Structures are given as structure tokens and as C-alpha cells.
Amino acid sequence: MYQGTRHRAPAIVSRPDLAAIAEWVRPRAKVLDLGCGDGTLLRYLAETREAWGYGVEISEANVLACVRNRVNIIQSDLESGLSAFESASFDYVILSQTLQSMHHTEEIVREMLRVGREGIVSFPNFGHWRNRMQILLGRMPVSEALPYQWFDTPNVHLCTVNDFETFCAQHGVRILERRVLHLGKEVATLPNLLGSIAVFRIERRD
Amino acid sequence: MHDPASVGAVTAQTAEFNTPLQFRSGATLDGYRLVFETYGELNASRSNAVLVCHALSGTHHVAGHYEDNPRDIGWWDNMVGPGKPLDTNRFFVVGVNNLGGCHGSTGPSTIDPETGRPFGPRFPVVTVEDWVVSQARLADRLGIEQFAAIIGGSLGGMQALQWSLDFPERVRHVICIAAAPKLTAQNIAFNDVARQAILTDPEFHGGDFYDKSVVPRRGLRLARMLGHITYLSDDSMAEKFGRVLRSGALNFGYDVEFEIESYLRYQGDKFADRFDANTYLLMTKALDYFDPAHSHGGDLSAAFRGATANFLIVAFTSDWRFSPERSEEILKALLDNELDVSYAEFKTVHGHDSFLMTDPHYHELMRAYFQSIEL
């Protein structure tokens, strides 16, 4: 079990999508966090939701950070699938700010909905008006949600809120809940234009 | 020479046991002796003990050096000491020479009180399970009800795993490095060639060579040379030796020509000087027999059903003897049982021997993991 409850809660404010994700996770749920970074979300879920589970990371530095954060961490390449995990063995499989850097997008979504009863996906909305403006001005977008230059970005599969919804419709994925955010606040009107980050709760449509 | 990160001069201790020990094979020893070393202090609540299990050729001498032999440095001195990843300022660390060994614990070269002769080939074939029982008795003797952690590499990692199955309430963290849940046919094949080298050495005398004033050196040497090849990687050998010739030219003969030949022979000689042939046979058999899934119809996940410890599983990319895929088999069984487990795979070049090397990423992770253990 998690041992770190006496320690300071991690700074989660800088990642508004994580707060949104945490609100959806039921207490004491079993969670798999794909591309979990330094384990901030898992640690936060453990402390606020008594949720429990594992993170998956490929980078040595993040694996070390997770151990320091006292979360279970499996060093593995998401691109090679989730064969170590049994079907329907998690309440939630989370892919936060990772989808856009995956090469095998269809496969990872299929895998996360095989392993988890539900999936939670967050990604930067490429349709945000500021991105559109920068394109119109003849530049690749750089923003808080997309902080990379075109030549050093890990992002290979950027999409808009609308793109993702079409993807779900075409890939047997049911959208259970959606939150589109900007500066930590929910965007109700014209989300594909005014939201910079999107969070979806999804399941398999069988 | 004073190294502040060394535990310094250490002394081996001995524990005598008069309670009979029944081996998995059915054989029994009425009494036995375990030689061990400890580093650091056991705290008042006895919650900071860490057992270090050794691999095939390891000993109880894990860290520090001997007053009368400062060059005899413990085999895991880079891991264990004050301020080292397994920090002896915080933990009470126990190293033990396994039963059947040749460094002071009761083994084949010990005199059998019943016959007055060395046990030799009559020493019981010892298994990982038997070692764990004997280690638990040593823990009783030291007043350790529960280990904060049990750690080992290779065959040592197998013992750490076995502890979590046989005494789940006595170990909080298991750190299993460069190990496997069982040997493959290829692993067993290597072990058997090593055994055949010893068994067919004319100076082995069926294992009763002690009173003949000979040692089956050729067999031991070959066994070690073969073993050593499997501990290294093709890349590390290429990097270290390549095709470099000792004399710079081909001699068209069978003497040492390539550097790798010289290195292997040196390793073989060094080993034959310090290791017992019967112990080598026993250790390789313990490896061959280790298979916790066997009694569960081959289902490793079922084998771990009773485990409760937290696990850290570590593998090295260049280890082809116990490759990362073998560690992932262990990981899978732990995940299936919803146990707390972390898994790390390090990119190293040193093959199976990587677990003994000072790789900064590997050591930093070990340090972080040990720091995360609450006492």
C-alpha cells in the first residue's frame, strides 16, 4: 500500500487536467496511469481518493521520480502494448497528456479499454483559437498547453476536441463524460475553439 | 586508506544450530553452522534489518574488509555501507554464507560428525527453500522477527522471492535483481556442462577428494570459465578484449593468444583457488530446481497468491542469462496478485554481472527505494 500519506501533497495545480481526472476517480479505485511522469497524479489519487495502482513510464528519470514519490512504477514502452496486464483488471486506465506523443494511437486506446473498465484521456486541444491564430499567422503553435518548438516536440499525433470525438465514434468508443478546460476553468461555449485542454472519460462500446 | 563510505573492518560471526534441518530432498542434518556478518545497528524496534542473499559464488562477506586482509573487500561493497544505496547508517544489514557453501557455513568440506570424514558428495542437495528456512532460523537467533527488506541478485534474488512465499509475514520488501522465476533448458544446459567439467575431472574422486590432498582444479576452472562467459555480454567482451592478441601476432598454437583467453583462464584459476567443487555442484542444482510455480501446476501467479511484500524487480538489458523478459514473468505474477511492485530495466553493457557494477542510474534507484522504506 502507499506509504507516503504523511508527506506533503504534490503540487497538482500546475496541471488542471489532473484535478479534473481526480474528480472522476471513485474512492478506492484501482488505477493504471500510462505515461505517469513523476507519479504526481497517482500520489494525488492515493492521498485524496485512496486509489491504488501502478504507473507506466519509459524514462529512467521518471521511474526514479516515481520511486521517490512512493508510487508503484513499471518501466515499459507503451508503444509495445500492455501485455503484462490482464483484461478488465483496472477500474480506470489513465492516459494524461500522453496520447498526442504516441505513435500507435489506435492500439493504445484499444489496449487501455481492454485493461480498464473505463479510460480517462487528456490532451491539448489543437483547435484552441490561439493555435489557429498562430497557424493563420504562418507559425506552428507554441503555447502553455503546447510548449514545444516544431523541431523538438515529442508530439506526433495532435488532434482537436472534434477530431477525438470522431475517432471515438469510428473506433467503438463511447464517451461517458467530457470536460474542456482553459486556464483551469471549464469552457462551456465553443469548447473546440475556446478550450486548450480536453479530458474525456470513455469506455468500450460492445 | 580510510574510505568513509565503507563499513570498514568487519568480523565474521558464527551461529551453531542444534535443531535438525529437514531438506526438501528428504535428507536431514542434525546440526549445522552458519557464518555471517552484520553491518550497522539493529534499532530498538528491530524494524531495520535487511538480509542480503548471495548468488552462486558469493559469501557472507558483503561489505567492508578484514583487519588482517584489507584487500579482501566484500562482494557488494559498492551497494552496502554508510551513505551507500543500502545505507548502513539506517539499516542493519545481514550477510550469510548459505548452507552447503565453502566459506565457513556447514558444507561438503565440513567433517560429518557421524563418519568423522568430510561430507563430500554425501552433503544433502540443498534447495532455495532449504536456504530460506536456515536463514529464518538465523533471523530468529538475531532477534529479527521481520526483515525491512530482503535483497539479492541472480540466485540471491530467487531466495528473496522464496522468502515472500514461505514467510510472507517476515519480510516487508523484496528486492529481486537480475533473476528469473525458473531456469530455462538453456540455463540448465550451461549448468550441466559446468557440472560435467567437475564430475569428470579425475581428481574429483566422486567428490571425496579432501583426504586425497588433491583438488579438481581443471573441472572448477572450466566450470568458471563457462559460467563467466554467460555472465558477460558479447558487447562487453568485444569492448574489453575485442580480438586483441597478447603478443601482437598469431603464434599458430594453442597457448594463450587472445586477451579473452588470458582473462578467462585467470578467472578460472582464481576461482579454483578459493572455491569448493562440491559446493559448486550444489549451487548449480539449487538454481536448476528453483521453480515456485511447479507446485501450482506451472502457474506462477498462483504461486504468489500468499505473498504480501512490496516488490522491486530489476533487470538489465544486456543480461542474456536472466534477460529482462524473465523478470517480466515475475512482474506479471505480482501484478496478477495486485501486489505493490515496481519494475526497472537498466541499459547496461555488463550482462548478468551488471547487478554487481556501479551504474549511477541503477544505484540511484536502489538508494531511492531503500529511502522509501519506512522503519
How high is the mean pLDDT of chain A? 92
Residue A19 lies in a domain: yes
Residue A24 lies in a domain: yes
pLDDT at A5: 38
Chain centroid offset of residue B328 CA = 20
**Does A13 have pLDDT greater than 60?**
no
Facing residues of B176 across strands?
B152, B313
pLDDT at A14: 66
Chain centroid offset of residue B362 CA = 18
ipTM: 0.94
* DSSP for residue A141: -
**Cβ contacts of residue A180 below 8 Å, gap of 6+?**
A125, A161, A186, A187, A191, A192, A194, A195, A197, A198, A199
pLDDT at A19: 87
B55 neighbors B75 (Cβ within 8 angstroms): no
pLDDT at B208: 97
Q: Is the dihedral of CA B117, B15, B355, B147 positive or negative?
A: positive
Residue A161 lies in a domain: yes
For residue B307, report the phi and psi dihedrals to the nearest 5 degrees: -75, 145
Chain B positions touching A39 (Cβ under 8 A) are: none
Number of independent structural domains in chain A: 1
* DSSP for residue B312: E
**Three-state SS letters, A149-173:** CCCCCCCCCCECHHHHHHHHHHCCE
| Regions of chain B short of the pLDDT cut 70 | 1-2
In angstroms, the Cα distances linking B148 to A1, A64, B136 are 15, 20, 14
Which residue out of A74, A85, A115 would a mutagenesis test of the B interface target, given it has the greatest number of B Cβ atoms within 10 Å?
Answer: A74
Residue A139 lies in a domain: no
**Does A40 have pLDDT greater than 90?**
yes
B374 Cβ under 8 Å from any chain A Cβ: yes
Would residue B352 show up in a list of annotated catalytic residues for this protein?
yes
pLDDT at A200: 98
Residue A61 lies in a domain: yes
Active-site option among B77, B130, B201, B319: B319
Which residue out of B173, B339, B345 would a mutagenesis test of the A interface target, given it has the greatest number of A Cβ atoms within 10 Å?
Answer: B345
pLDDT band at A12 (very low <50, low <70, confident <90, very high): low
pLDDT at A81: 86
Q: What is the rounded CA–CA span in Å between residue A113 and residue A119?
A: 6
**Does A10 have pLDDT greater than 50?**
no
Task: Output the nine-digit C-alpha cell for B64.
Answer: 567492508
Residue A136 lies in a domain: no
B296 neighbors B303 (Cβ within 8 angstroms): yes
Chain A positions touching B332 (Cβ under 8 A) are: 84
pTM over 0.80: yes
* Domain membership of residue A164 as a residue range: 5-126+155-204
Which of B367, B274, B319 lies closest to B80 in space, CA to CA?
B367
Q: What is the CA radius of gyration of chain B?
A: 20
Q: What CATH number does the domain containing A196 carry?
A: 3.40.50.150
Q: What pLDDT digit, counting tens, does each position of A68-99 carry?
A: 999 999 999 999 889 999 999 999 999 999 99
Element of type H or E holding B331: helix B324-336
Of chain B residues 276-335, which have a CB less than 8 A from chain A? 328, 331-332, 335
Residue A143 lies in a domain: no
Chain centroid offset of residue B53 CA = 6
Which one of B336, B343, B368 has the shortest CB-CB distance to A64? Answer: B368
Q: What pLDDT digit, counting tens, does each position of A103-122 carry?
A: 999 999 999 999 999 999 99
Residue A140 lies in a domain: no
